[in-house]
Amino acid sequence: MPAERSKSSRRSGADGNQLVWTIPVEPANIGTEGITFAPNVTPVTFDDGPPPLVDAPPSEYILFPPSDDCHVRPRRPGHSKKKPDDHIPRPPNAFILFRSSFIKGQHVPTEVETNHSTLSKIIGLTWKNLRDDERQLWHSKAKAALDEHKRKFPQYAFRPNQGRGKGGTEKRKVREVGPKDHKRCAKIAELLVEGKKGQELDAAIQEFDKHHIPEIITRFEAPLTARMYRRSSSAPIPEADDSKRSSCKDRASSTQPAAPPISYPAEQTKQEDIPHSPYLQSFDQFAFSQSTPSFDLNTFSFDDRSSPLPDFSCDPFSAPLSPLDNTDALFSNNEYLNNTTQPHLSIDTSYLAMDDWTRCSSPMSAASSSMPATPSYIDSPSPGAYGTFNDTVDSFEQSLANSFGNFDLPKQYELYPRNGDSHFSAYTNADSPSEYPSFEQHHSKTHMAGQDLDFSAFMMASLPEYSI
DNA sequence: CTGAATGAAAA
DNA sequence: TTTTCATTCAG
């Protein structure tokens, strides 16, 4: 039982290229104004507004000028009640400062990306690509912030892990999630350091998306009866919540889904960066699991007796579900989870028409991990434009309904374009209190973004997630 | 509360 | 060497 590697991607020296610490910042030598980089930039760069657009040589142009009031957050309005109230936050490091300013500067249009996890990835890549001197500027600012911090809190000392009691032996849970669309992030970062921004950047990314095959395509759908599983607490459900659900159609998820135990398309990121035992992120948007373990899972008939399923085979999982302590109460009546032999689901959907995916490339890219805030195509596909995508998935859903009957659990489809051939596979994540068995449901060849590739559809049978 | 990034500081 | 926590906010 070796502790599974919690983080594989972080300092794997992944990119390894361009390492730039030529100028070690000696403590106290470089003050806020002793910056020695850029001969003609001069220390002026600090907090003042617009850099001189007219007379600055292009080479010294600062791509991401610090915002006026750099950090100093007015503190979260809805205090996170986790911190003791007199908590003194750590001084921000160079990257954090850069990220803060970057976010504030809106350098990535919301049309391109809104997800902060993905933004972090983009900003991280941008940070690496940043000119040495510009990055050095942020290190200087960090130094200044540190000095200020020391001045302000002379007695401050970093005390990690203070929040948890000493008994808290549990190390923080680190979720492993599927890989982001690294290619897209890298492209955005590249464009950013080229000086592209705003509309121009947006357009460039749109063009990129047109030819880019995302690594993961997800499709998320709420069940028709989702409201039945709604939180039964007194908390009023916002109207928007209802309408969102009532539309009940085709909500592409921008969350990072689990990765399948398959190989990814060719020039994917480092293989070792891809988690092998990931699990889905919360289904909290359906709000049916947090405090309402009251729905009847018997409607969810993986049980072969209560609901004979066509195309249903009973091989064990390659990685059987572990006993679900937290869910036993919920599922005690359901043989499915108590059975050591897990059903192996297989649905032949090869009859589905998957012929024309080309026109879907753009929205499918949008539906990938880095999906921008424009999923409208999903709800109302413009005539002819993306109909193929929806038609195909609708057919897929129909096949699910035929096979499983009416099961009223939320379900998520994960669609993976890929190059290699596929084989039936299933995986689970034994780490999570909620276990998501995944079943490959469909596999076919298709055409996308001008390329032939295999295409796999997974159905994630979602079980309620427990809050612990 | 988490995830993403990098980096400083502590264990 | 490994872990936490600085920022940010949608999910």
Closest protein CA to C1' of nucleotide B5, residue: A120
Q: Which two tokens stand for residue A99?
A: 């990220």
Nearest CA to A457 out of A304, A257, A276 is that of A257
pLDDT band with cut points at 50, 70 and 90 for residue A65: confident
> CA-to-C1' distance for A272 and B5, Å?
18
Closest protein CA to C1' of nucleotide C4, residue: A160
Shortest-distance nucleotide from A80 CA to C1': B1
> CA-to-C1' distance for A118 and C9, Å?
12
**All protein residues with a CB under 7 A from any atom of strand C:** A 3, 6, 71, 73, 83, 87, 89-90, 92-93, 95-96, 99-100, 103-104, 114-116, 119-120, 158, 160-163, 171-172, 174, 253-255, 281-282, 285, 373
Q: Across chain A, what does the average pLDDT equal? A: 50
Shortest-distance nucleotide from A88 CA to C1': C6
Shortest-distance nucleotide from A163 CA to C1': C4
Nucleotides of C under 7 A from a protein CB: 3-11
Least confident piece of the model among A60-69, A171-180, A194-203, A432-441: A432-441
Query: Are A429 and A462 contacting, i.e. CB atoms less than 8 angstroms apart?
Result: no
Higher pLDDT, A163 or A242: A163
Residue with tokens 């005690």: A332
DSSP A336-367: HHH-SS--EE----TTS-----GGGHHHHHHT
Shortest-distance nucleotide from A71 CA to C1': C7
As a whole number of angstroms, the distance between CA A353 and CA A360 comes to 14
pTM: 0.54
Q: Is the pLDDT of residue A421 over 90?
A: no
As a whole number of angstroms, the distance between CA A147 and CA A230 comes to 50
Shortest-distance nucleotide from A124 CA to C1': B5
Shortest-distance nucleotide from A162 CA to C1': C4
Higher pLDDT, A111 or A249: A111
Q: What pLDDT score was predicted for residue A182?
A: 87
Quickly count: other Cβ atoms within 10 Å of residue A10's Cβ.
Answer: 9
**All protein residues with a CB under 7 A from any atom of strand B:** A 9-11, 80-82, 90, 93-96, 99, 115-117, 120-121, 123-124, 127-128, 139, 142, 146, 157-161, 172-175, 177, 180, 256, 281
Q: Is the pLDDT of residue A142 over 90?
A: yes
Higher pLDDT, A139 or A209: A139
For residue A169, the SS3 value is coil
Shortest-distance nucleotide from A171 CA to C1': C3
pLDDT tens figures, A324-337 = 222 222 222 222 22
Query: Are A196 and A204 contacting, i.e. CB atoms less than 8 angstroms apart?
Result: yes
- Taking phi over 0 as left and psi of -120 to 50 as alpha, with beta for the rest, A13 belongs to left
As a whole number of angstroms, the distance between CA A209 and CA A196 comes to 16
Q: Is the pLDDT of residue A146 over 80?
A: yes
> CA-to-C1' distance for A250 and B7, Å?
41
pLDDT tens figures, A348-403 = 333 233 332 322 222 233 333 333 322 222 222 233 223 344 555 555 566 556 65
Q: What pLDDT score was predicted for residue A198?
A: 83
CB burial readout A149-166, b (16+ within 10 A) else e:
beeeeeeeeeeeeeeeee
End-to-end CA distance of chain A: 23
Distance of CA A30 to the CA centre of its chain: 38
Phi, psi of A298 (to 5 degrees): -65, -15
Q: Which two tokens stand for residue A457?
A: 């559809």
As a whole number of angstroms, the distance between CA A9 and CA A426 comes to 24
- Write out the E strands in A190-346: 217-221, 312-313, 344-345
> CA-to-C1' distance for A7 and C1, Å?
14
As a whole number of angstroms, the distance between CA A218 and CA A371 comes to 10
Shortest-distance nucleotide from A161 CA to C1': C4
Burial of A88 from C-beta contacts in 10 A (0-12 / 13-18 / 19+): middle
> CA-to-C1' distance for A124 and C8, Å?
14
Sign of the dihedral through C-alpha A133, A139, A143, A148: positive
Q: Is the pLDDT of residue A217 over 50?
A: yes
Q: What is the largest CA-CA distance in chain A?
A: 78
Query: Are A23 and A37 contacting, i.e. CB atoms less than 8 angstroms apart?
Result: yes
As a whole number of angstroms, the distance between CA A250 and CA A376 comes to 10
Query: Are A267 and A215 contacting, i.e. CB atoms less than 8 angstroms apart?
Result: no
Closest protein CA to C1' of nucleotide B6, residue: A95
